Amino acid sequence: MAGYTWRAVDGEFRVEVDIGGLQKGLVLDTGFTSPACVVGLHVSRSTYQRLRAMGAISEQYSCEVCLADGSTDTTTLGQVEAQLLFDSHPIGPRLKTYIVDGGEDAEELVGTCFFHHIQGGALTWDFTFQTITLNIQD
C-alpha cells in the first residue's frame, strides 16, 4: 500500500487532479459535497469550457446548486474522468465523477465525494502537523 502526503499551505490543502487530460491544482473543500455524492469537482467557467472544447465532458446537464451562503443558482455540470496526481504522477484509479461550472470567478475545488469513489483507500488528516495522507493500493 502506497502513502501520499500533502501539507497544508496557508490553511489549505492543494491537490493536483488530471481532469480529462488537463492537469489542475485544486483546493480540497470538505464542505463541498452533493446529496447523491456524484459531484466531485468544481471549476471556473473558463476551465469548464476548456474541458468541453477538449471533448472531456460528457452527459452535460443543467442543474440547481446550493451555494455556501444558502442561496441557490442554476449552472451546468457534466461527467468527466479524473485521477489524482502526486508530483505530477498518477495515483489511484481513474474515476468517473461530475464537474460543476462554478462561474467566472469560481475557486477550483475537489470535494469529499471525489475521495469517496476511491476504492481501497483511506485518507488520514493529522491536525497537529497539518497534513493529509492518502493510503491506497497502487
Give the mean model confidence (pLDDT) for residues 22-39.
91
Which amino acid is present at 12?
E
Is residue 137 predicted with pLDDT exceeding 90?
no
Task: Using DSSP, state whether 35 is helix, strand or coil.
Answer: coil
Least confident segment among 9-18, 63-72, 101-110:
63-72
- Please tell me the predicted confidence (pLDDT) of residue 5: 97
Q: What number is the average pLDDT over the span 22-30?
A: 96
What CA–CA distance (Å, rounded) separates 118 from 123? 10
Length reported for the chain: 138
Q: Vertex 26, ends 20 and 29: CA angle to 5°?
A: 120
Domain boundaries, the chain: 12-120
Residue type, 27: V
Model pTM score: 0.91
> pLDDT tens across 39-97, in order?
999 999 999 999 999 999 999 998 877 766 777 788 899 999 999 999 999 999 999 99
> What is the pLDDT at residue 74?
84
pLDDT of residue 72: 79
Residue 77 CA to residue 101 CA, distance in Å, equals 6
Say what the pLDDT of residue 86 is. Answer: 96
**Contact by Cβ (8 Å): 7, 84:** no
Fold of 12-120: Cathepsin D, subunit A; domain 1 (2.40.70)
* Average pLDDT of the chain, as a whole number: 92
